[in-house]
Chain A
Amino acid sequence: MKNLDQPSKAVSEIAKAKSPIQILPYSLIVGQEKLKLALELAYIADRMGGVLLSGQRGTGKSTAVRAFAIMIWDCLPVTLPINATEDRVVGGWEINQLMQGKPQWQDGLIKEANKNKLLYIDEVNLLDDHIVNIILDVTSTGVLVIQRDGQRKEEKVSFTLVGTMNPEEGGLRPQLLDRFGLMVNVKAETHRENRIKILETVMAWDKALFDLARNDASDYLDEARAKDEEYKSQLEAAKEKFLTVEIPRNAVEWCVQLTEEFKAEGNRGDYTMALASRAYAALNNAPQVSQKHIAAVAELVLQHRRPEFLQNYQLSWEEEDEERVKNILQLD
């Protein structure tokens, strides 16, 4: 284990060199373990198909996604805002150049996400329907087809879709919901200790920004970035190990049994369950997938695939669902 009290100079330089927009470092996020786990699993197994973070307002969903992207890729995620227009999503002519009579194509957000591997949609349930249709089309075929402004292009694209939403403002169409491999029902931290820790972190973060503005340096921030670097290397190691983790036949059978028992829609659930449990095993440095690994990811894979969820998108994963998973997997 590295000595985290002494952040390396390089890390500090990176922290300063990064965008002037400062985001709370990933290692400083208090609680929200499921949320963090889902993002990490989607990174380790990049065919997972995306993460949906649905939950109460003010629980740090957006901050977590941005912090994760900065930790892993040293840049903010490609973000699709709710009022984005089609030309920015799929690409179009660069206006300033065009006005001068020089047609020059500008890639859209989907193409940008193909480079950065993460397409983040804040308030995904408020997205305009025709933009949702474009995203659905690309995520289901893996091909971006452009037929606009006199252009015809087809390009293979692959990215992880991460969406955040507040279910009070409505749900998602089932087709889009199914594209998200994992879903987290994000709740506010209710434990007093954690809540105090959240306040401490926010106030310390405000102070760090204050110090950064005045002294161009913050030990607190440097320390956190160093922890991020450390954790990033752990995740990278898990990602490398992912394909070497064995998934025995009985583990696959458990995955299928679980999706059957929970009446999950379609077959995507089986595959995602296997991928997620394998990624979880890799994260925990295990040689092969066990029932415990499957149990740990069951909620993330199954909760939005239950038929009841399509009727009530505020339905949460309860203690009894957890018990049911344990019974099916024959865990004590």
Chain B
Amino acid sequence: MLCPEENSQEIPLVIIPDLTKLSLAAVRACVTLMGADLAHLERHQQQQSWRPNLCWLAGCSSKEEEIGKVSPHLLDRFALRLNGKIEDDLDNLDNLNNLDNSDKVSRIVELLNKQQLEQEDVSFLCLQEREIGSELKQQLQKAVQHAPEITGEALARILDCTAYSSHGSESEVYHRREIALARFSFANAQLEGAKEVRVTDVNLAARMMGLKLLHLNETEAENYREEQEEQEESISDSEPRESATSKSTEFQSSNSSDNKSKQDKSLSKDSQQPVYKSHEPESSSEMRLKDISSLENPYPEDKAPIEREMAPLKLPTPRFLSKAIARGTIIGVEKATTVEDLAIVRTLLEAAKFQPIRKSKGENGENGNNNLQGGLKICWEDLYRYRRAPVAEQMLMLLLDYTCLEHCQWQEELFPYLSWAYVERATVGLIQVGVAKDKSQFKNNGENLTKINPQELKAEKILAQSILIPSISNALDDELTKKGRATPLAHGLDLTLKTLRHALQHGRNTIQKAVLVVISDGRGNVPLEASHLGKIHSPVGSKGVEDALAIAEKIGNLDNVEAMLLNPQSKYYPELPLKLAQALGAKVRSIPVREIWELEE
């Protein structure tokens, strides 16, 4: 697909629906092909060099936790970012809780109707391939026929748009981003039929991408605001495009004057005609840019937490406990050492090379048989097997009750299990019980002391492919986590149970063994029902503990789970952790309390 087609003038469009879900092989291919002057193929005696003339369109979540999973090396190749978000009222479903019942019903009906309409629209789009109109085609063809000059002021403006991140702090310089903005502005000016790429073109392109402009003096800032308002007005204008034509004619006439650069410099109001209004009176409505809304931050990866392993583009080392398991994604082929998981096509290709020679040898009787006519002779040396990405066969499941960690040296005790997870490349599940959700609570805000954040009534689950994923180390960091004011132990154990069941029993899972480590004093004070509802009704009594013990028993009945309870040795109800361990079928190990440990030091 990515190799050149001879004599082809067409530029193929490659669409990647979701960058976060791209396989390793595809990511490596993208990194070497995208934006490259040259691509090389040197595989299996095939050799080719070509200019990868491809147009790439990729979708990617702009949420920090999602984008943190993608290699920045890959993201850097996509310097032009536009907002592809479709308004989704489902996001507002959470607000339903604040409505009374009749409002809730009407809101849900409204949402359902809207979804139905949208589905009909989508099915319509899927069935009918939309063709570009002839007017638009002409406009595009005309656009690529001329190359406007870019003014010095416009180039300077590009640096003001890209040198600083949108949150105001100085960031590193990324040349690809600057070049992308320059080329985007250039393309826009081409589309407008303008002779020059001017500051206004850069402003417009920057605004479409969501880039903020810095380093503007007061006059420039005022002009920029006016320009933005004018453009917003014209974007929301529902009049047909003909009305924009008269303005664009004015723009053309001012554009043809000799003082273009001076106008640029002063950013005078005359030069602030919206440049995105087409100069072509016959232009199609499809070319309107109103659908392009800007991103809040086009480069969220600059401050997103890292959710990927180190060196994500490197080929991982295969590591399997049981040879029968070969379920990782195929990332290539390699010479086979066993006859398992054979790459049939590669093997046949390898064998095919030698058939004439083998057959001629067979005919000459060198091999002592003449039965090779019509058949394919495959030798041991021909065998290739798939090279697969490693899959975790073991899992470390942690349940941490943050409300009991204060007085014990829990990290020391936990360390051997973390090391085991690293050595075994185990996948990691972490259930956080009783962790503070609201950061303002850390400041001991008086108002917050009286009310429990409903989110704290629930436990949190973090799943990671390995112990090296930063979200795990952050969750184990004393400085970054604070204890909350409720202990939803029953909910935490419920999440643990579901996660273990999924890992050990669901579909094509690869987990052979799970090690469950629980650090808790057993003093759960939130019943399971309260966690599900997000509301707690006092008195709670012992319901929280009873629920926790009931679920712990279910975990204890799971096969292939080795459970360990690390007892923080709380002064209150010292028998509760032991009861919990008994229900889990777990071994117990006491964590030295901080005072004793400090004395020993």
Could you list which residues of chain A lie within 8 angstroms of chain B, going by C-beta atoms? 20-23, 56-60, 62-63, 66, 76, 79-85, 87-89, 92-95, 98-101, 103, 106, 109, 122-123, 125-126, 128-129, 166, 168-170, 188-190, 192, 195-196, 198-200, 202-203, 206-207, 210
Contact = CB atoms under 8 A, between A and B. Distances in A.
Contacts of B49: 21, 76, 79
A199 B360 contact: no
Interface in B164-219: 172-179, 182-183, 186
B159 A196 contact: yes
Given A21-B51, A98-B353, A190-B173, A109 B42 contact: yes
B44 interface: yes
B356 A100 contact: yes
A103 B45 CA distance: 13
Would you list the 8 A-B pairs with minimal beta carbon distance, nearest first?
A170-B311, A101-B356, A58-B176, A88-B42, A84-B42, A188-B173, A81-B40, A95-B45
Contact of A66 (B37, B175, B332): B37
Contact of A126 (B156, B182, B186, B313): B313
A199 B356 contact: no
Given A202-B182, A203-B186, A195 B159 contact: yes
Given A168-B73, A203-B182, A198 B175 contact: yes
B147 A98 contact: no
Given A170-B311, A192-B159, A198 B42 contact: no
B123 to A, nearest CB: 40
21 contacts: A58-B76, A58-B177, A81-B42, A82-B28, A83-B42, A84-B43, A88-B47, A98-B357, A100-B356, A123-B32, A128-B315, A166-B73, A169-B311, A188-B172, A188-B174, A196-B152, A198-B175, A199-B159, A202-B179, A203-B155, A206-B183
Given A79-B40, A88-B44, A196-B155, 12 more contacts: A20-B51, A57-B174, A76-B38, A79-B38, A81-B39, A94-B45, A122-B32, A123-B31, A169-B311, A170-B311, A170-B314, A196-B152
B398 interface: no
Contact of B178 (A21, A63, A81, A195): A195
Contact of B175 (A129, A170, A189, A207): A189
B37 A23 contact: yes
Interface string B403-421: 0000000000000000000
Contacts of B356: 98-101
B147 A210 contact: yes
Contacts of B32: 81-83, 122-123
Nearest to B174: A58
Nearest to A100: B356
Contact of A195 (B42, B73, B173, B332): B173
Nearest to B357: A101
Contacts, number: 156
Contacts of B174: 56-58, 188
Interface string B304-325: 0000001111110000000000
B41 interface: yes
A87 B175 contact: no
A196 B162 CA distance: 12
Contacts of B312: 169
A92 B159 CA distance: 50
Given A123-B32, A168-B72, A21 B38 contact: yes
Nearest to A130: B334
Contacts of A122: 32
A92 B45 CA distance: 7
B150 interface: yes
Given A85-B43, A94-B45, A188-B174, A200 B71 contact: no
Contacts of A83: 28-29, 32, 42-43, 332
Contacts of B163: 195
B352 interface: yes
B173 A95 contact: no
Nearest to A149: B381
B372 interface: no
Contacts of B150: 199-200, 203
A57 B43 contact: no
Nearest to B312: A169
B386 to A, nearest CB: 15
B256 to A, nearest CB: 21
Contacts of A87: 44-45
A217 B371 CA distance: 63
A305 B401 CA distance: 47
A309 to B, nearest CB: 17
B28 A125 contact: no
A200 B31 contact: no
Interface of B: 28-29, 31-32, 36-47, 49-51, 71-73, 76, 79, 147, 150, 152, 155-156, 158-159, 163, 172-179, 182-183, 186, 310-315, 332, 352-357, 360
Interface centre among A60, A83, A126, A129 (most CB of B within 10 A): A83
A20 B173 CA distance: 32
Contacts of B182: 199, 202-203
Contacts of B45: 87-88, 92-95, 106
A20 to B, nearest CB: 8
A21 B48 CA distance: 13
Contacts of B29: 83
Contact of A57 (B47, B72, B314): B72
Contacts of A93: 45, 353
A68 to B, nearest CB: 13
Contacts of B179: 198-199, 202
Contact of A85 (B42, B50, B177): B42
Contact of B354 (A88, A98, A126, A166): A98
B314 A125 contact: yes
Contacts of A188: 172-175
B42 A89 contact: yes
Contacts of A200: 150, 155
A250 to B, nearest CB: 41
Given A81-B32, A85-B44, A198 B178 contact: yes
Contacts of B352: 99
Name which of A168, A200, A203 has the most chain B CB atoms within 10 A of its CB. Answer: A203
B41 A81 contact: yes
A80 B42 contact: yes
Interface centre among A57, A103, A210 (most CB of B within 10 A): A57
Contacts of A202: 179, 182-183
A276 to B, nearest CB: 28
A86 to B, nearest CB: 9
B381 to A, nearest CB: 9
A185 to B, nearest CB: 14
Contacts of B41: 81
A42 to B, nearest CB: 21
A83 B315 CA distance: 10
Contacts of B46: 88, 95
Contacts of A207: 147
Most buried by B among A56, A93, A109, A126: A126
A87 B172 CA distance: 41
B72 A95 contact: no
B335 to A, nearest CB: 9
Contacts of A106: 45
Nearest to A109: B42
Contacts of B44: 85, 87-88, 95
A168 B41 CA distance: 25
B164 to A, nearest CB: 13
Contacts of A192: 159
B314 A169 contact: yes
A33 B332 CA distance: 39
A280 B32 CA distance: 33
Contacts of B183: 202, 206
B76 A57 contact: yes
B159 A126 contact: no
Nearest to B356: A101
Nearest to A188: B173
B334 to A, nearest CB: 9
